[in-house]
Amino acid sequence: MGAITAGAKARPAQWRAGLGRLVAGAALLTAVALLPWLSGTDPALTVLRARSADQDPTPAQLAAVREQLGLDQGPLTHLAHWLGGLPRGDAGTSWVSGEPVLPQVSAAFAVSVTLMLGALVVTLAVAALVSARTLYLGSRRRLRQARAGTGAAVLAALPKFLLASLLATVCGVWLGWLPSSGWEGPSSMVLPSLALGVPSGAMIGGLLDQSLPAAFQEPWARTWHAFGFPPGLTARNALRRALAGVLPQLLPTVVGLVGGAVAVEKIFNIPGLGRLALDAALAQDLPPLQTATMVLILLGVTAGLLLQALRRALLGPALRDGALPALHAPDLPRRRSMSWIAAFCGIALLTVVGAGLLRDPLHVDTAARLLPPSPAHPLGTDALGRDLLARLGHGALRTTGVALAVTTVSVLLGLLLGTAAQVSSGLTEAMSTLPAVLAGLLTTAVTGPSVWGAALAVCMVGWTPYAAQTAALLEQERASGHMLAALSFGAGPRYLLRHHHLPAVLPAVLRNALLRLPTTVLVLASLGFLGLGEQPPTAEWGRLLSENQPYLELAPWAVLGPACALVLLSVLAVSGAPGTGQRRHRSSW
């Protein structure tokens, strides 16, 4: 009877989730179809300029383009016509090149999925290395102190495009070990996979490393150790228990690379889907843009369903039967080194920012372009001869302020939507694979290029990791035995939210947010670099990296300063924060 009841309850939830996926996909495709009209520019003018270099077309030329593309009929008519051709395998033809869209998108999708799989292998390998020590000590009951996670924070803060440029220069050009450009065979995917997978693996590994001590604290682990079970068996089962809460992060972190690895694809000259979608969006070439968006939505939904099935398989029948044990984080003392590390990072950042504020960040000296560090310019100069220390110091408050605001809004949205997972799961899956650049184009079309327009764009996609994590942790919390006890004693929704749901979710979500803080800075910078966000000559850390990345081989100090500042900020956030592992459950019954 219990299984029948559970199945009956699951069917309405599945219908709600399916409806949410359909609504989310339709809304996203409609927003993309409206892009040329939202921007306030004539789509015919944009397409004509993309076709040729003619900057002043005649009214007759524009009228001919509108008639040819059917622009006079409006966006919804075009969208309906495009959708009607999909069942016949016809995704239309490119407005710019005149070639069929489906072969282009299929080829780009195959390249991006192959690159994603390579990045997934690297991600899993790095995550295993980051969490190996905790897994080894925990399986032998030898965990004595809480880990700071500074190593994971350093790797997670590495800018993907900067790491890609470094790998291409050193391993591709200087040493000649691997191809530095193009997509010709398996060897071509090694360097881009490393550039994408190392920061992603550090993020996944850091979250897993914080979840493992709570898994080793469960009663079965203590019993197995007392009975002399092999440590390897304990480690495998603890990993299975902790991995269930981290697994949903693969969707926005790894699967999202299919459409979000635009910078790395450009550096390595890879014809991927993200690059295709960006070029189509900039040219307002709707047929390939709509097709690429639809493919990303389908990929997100499929990957989300697969990850959800895998997570439930890891947890087993206990999730369905409401018999999961609560995760008790052990009360491990913090190392003294964690406080010293936080103090060092804080003092270093304050010193650099304070020294930079005393200098002029806008002074241009063309005779001092790309100078190395010296007493006059402690961090060197950029390509315009501006002092990098000054620009780093003056950009600190704006960089951290906007990034913290975006992270706060994203966390709140993620918590809110994650609590309604049955309805919002489709939206989470669809938005997880949407490139932030495309969201930036949509918001900029309405707000115009500005730092707050870019912040809004990042918020549009930045909430998905927290929503996926919140939904997964809440599902486990609701399936634990102490929740049944609380309900049997008459606990109401407010009591459950305050004493059970939020304590079970907030620590892990905050840890995730701290690890993703440098990524937020870099996404904002990428939008500014494309003219969608912060405009020059504003001194902003991510923009400093983007502007000076082309000079990495000639003047590596031009990117070393802002990169180190991002690493210090990430380590300070992680090591200086209070314990952010799983909560210690205190039963009130």
CATH number at residue 452: 1.10.3720.10
- Number of domains making up the chain: 2
Position 586 in a domain: no
The predicted pLDDT at position 15 comes to 74
The predicted pLDDT at position 148 comes to 64
The predicted pLDDT at position 29 comes to 86
Q: Which of 367, 368, 381, 374 is nearest to 555 (CA)?
A: 381
Residues 253 and 359 placed together within one structural domain of the fold: no
Residue 447: CB atoms within 10 A of its CB come to 14
Residues 302 and 438 placed together within one structural domain of the fold: no
Residues 357 and 232 placed together within one structural domain of the fold: no
Give the model confidence (pLDDT) of 88-101 as tens digits: 888 888 888 888 99
DSSP 3-state assignment of 570?
helix
Position 320 in a domain: no
At 20, the pLDDT band (50, 70, 90 cuts) reads confident
Residues 358 and 501 placed together within one structural domain of the fold: yes
At 13, the pLDDT band (50, 70, 90 cuts) reads low
Structure tokens at 103: 């072969």
Residues 156, 574 contacting (CB under 8 angstroms) = no
Say what angle helices 396-418 and 502-529 make with each other, to 10 degrees. Answer: 130
Position 3 in a domain: no
At 433, the pLDDT band (50, 70, 90 cuts) reads confident
* Claim: this prediction has a pTM higher than 0.75: yes
The span from the CA of 141 to the CA of 105, in Å, is 52
Residues 546 and 423 placed together within one structural domain of the fold: yes
The span from the CA of 528 to the CA of 79, in Å, is 30
Position 473 in a domain: yes
Residues 178, 172 contacting (CB under 8 angstroms) = yes
Domain coverage including residue 71: 17-53+65-315
Strand partners, 509: none
Position 99 in a domain: yes
Residues 567, 162 contacting (CB under 8 angstroms) = no
Per-residue pLDDT at 146 exceeds 90? no
> In the predicted model, what is the mean pLDDT of the chain?
83
Residues 424 and 357 placed together within one structural domain of the fold: yes
The predicted pLDDT at position 571 comes to 85
DSSP track, 137-151:
HHHTT---SB---HH
Tokens 């010709």 appear where?
Answer: 184
Residues 374 and 503 placed together within one structural domain of the fold: yes
Check residues 494 and 174 and name the one with the higher pLDDT.
174
The predicted pLDDT at position 485 comes to 65
Residues 100 and 141 placed together within one structural domain of the fold: yes
Residues 283 and 346 placed together within one structural domain of the fold: no
The span from the CA of 400 to the CA of 392, in Å, is 12
Position 323 in a domain: no
Residues 218 and 347 placed together within one structural domain of the fold: no
Check residues 393 and 435 and name the one with the higher pLDDT.
393
Give the model confidence (pLDDT) of 103-134 as tens digits: 999 999 999 999 999 999 999 999 999 999 99
Residues 283 and 341 placed together within one structural domain of the fold: no
Burial of 187 (0-12, 13-18, 19+ CB in 10 A): exposed
Position 322 in a domain: no
Residues 346 and 486 placed together within one structural domain of the fold: yes
Residues 37, 43 contacting (CB under 8 angstroms) = yes
Residues 249, 203 contacting (CB under 8 angstroms) = yes
One-letter amino acid identity for 509? V
Position 440 in a domain: yes
Tokens 């949407």 appear where?
Answer: 434
Structure tokens at 532: 């969608």
The predicted pLDDT at position 386 comes to 93
